[in-house]
Amino acid sequence: MLVNTTLAIVKLIAGVVGHSYALIADAVESTADIFSSFVVWGGLHIASQPADEDHPYGHGRAEALAAAVVAIMLLGAAGGIAIQAFRQIMTPHEVPSSWTLAVLGVVIVVKELLFRRVVAVADEVGSTAVHADAQHHRSDVFTSLAAFAGISIAVVGGPKWVAADGWAALVAAVVIGYNGVKMLLPSVDDLMDRAPSDEMVRRISRAATALPEVCAVEKLKVRKMGLAYFVDLHVQADPQLSLHDAHIVSGKVKGAIRSAVPAVDEVLIHMEPYEVMSDAEHQVAP
């Protein structure tokens, strides 16, 4: 947030003094980065709170909600920049100063480094919100590249090509809007309890069926809640098991799943008797 604040101030001043709306648009995007980081931080803070009486499943939804807010902020910024870019294209203005290119060069390097760092953390913890924040940094790289190209054309081409600065800002708006949509979809999936990847479901199923006491599993459902996953499944075991032994088997299944997929927080198991006949009938059914 400190880096984004510094970059936003530098780009805004350079854009105003250097007569470059593309650079001002880039500063607006960096300002959105600052607010989005605050939103992500707040969402993760709330999501990390333990479950309570009013929220028995925890507060994990706050993480996905924060990601959605960040994405919507990006879309709003894209719309505002696009409107102003059109005005700049239609209105004659001064040629941007060539020294603004040096400012953009530094910005591009810094924002790419920030993107790589934040996306590494996002992959490590599996956070949709942190991924959204990382994409904010990457979108800033693209907007800065667009601004660099637009200013370069305007500087080299002179007054006849001054509109290139506005077109660069418009390209930046399109990139920002695309990233906003790209970030919004995963957060909506989390809020709507969309199932995770097939590979994760298979890992959970393999971990459960690997136990010798487990004859089969069915009705396996997985959903993401913040940074953690919740699993519901039916486990079929020997019908002759006592209630005590069945309870022990369910505990082993929970332990095996959590070991295989550390991101799994809770596992709800329904124990069922394994019916050999019904299983055989199922195998020969058309």
The per-residue pLDDT for range 202-224, each reduced to its tens digit, is 999 999 999 999 998 888 998 88
Cβ atoms of 281 and 245 within 8 Å: the answer is no
pLDDT at 231: 92
Span 198-284: which CATH code? 3.30.70.1350
Range of lowest pLDDT (24-33, 66-75, 271-280): 271-280
CA dihedral 255→260→261→266, nearest 10 degrees, is -10
Q: d(Cα 286, Cα 284) in Å, to the nearest integer?
A: 6
Average pLDDT over residues 60-67: 82
Give the architecture-level CATH label for domain 2-191: Up-down Bundle (1.20)
Max avg pLDDT among 17-21, 95-99, 197-201, 234-238? 234-238
The secondary structure element, H or E, covering residue 60 is none
What the block records as the tokens of 264 is 């799994």
pLDDT at residue 93 in the model: 65
Average pLDDT, the chain: 82
Size (the chain), residues: 286
Scan for tokens 């599993």, then name that residue.
217
Please state the φ and ψ torsions of residue 94, each to the nearest 5 degrees: -70, 155
Least confident of 23-32, 74-83, 215-224, 256-265: 23-32
Residue 235: predicted pLDDT = 92
Q: Which residue has the higher pLDDT, 47 or 250?
A: 250
User: In this structure, are strands 228-237 and 216-225 parallel, antiparallel, or unpaired?
Assistant: antiparallel
Q: What mean pLDDT comes out for the span 115-128?
A: 84
- Does residue 278 surpass a pLDDT of 60? no
Counting runs of H as helices and runs of E as strands, what totals does the chain give? 9, 3
Q: For residue 27, what pLDDT is reported?
A: 80
pTM of the model as a whole:
0.66
**pLDDT above 90 for 233:** yes
CB 80 within 8 A of CB 72: no
What number is the average pLDDT over the span 252-268?
89
Q: Which of 134, 133, 144, 137 is nearest to 107 (CA)?
A: 144
Per-domain boundaries in the chain:
2-191, 198-284
**Percentage of the chain modeled with pLDDT above 90:** 12
- Measure the CA–CA gap between 69 and 191, rounded to whole angstroms: 12
What's the longest Cα–Cα distance across the chain?
Answer: 88
Residue 150 contacts residue 45 (beta carbons within 8 Å) = no
Q: How confident is the model at residue 276 (pLDDT cuts 50, 70, 90)?
A: low
pLDDT at 257: 92
In the predicted structure, residue 110 carries a pLDDT above the cut 80: yes
Alpha-carbon distance of 95 to 81, in angstroms, equals 19
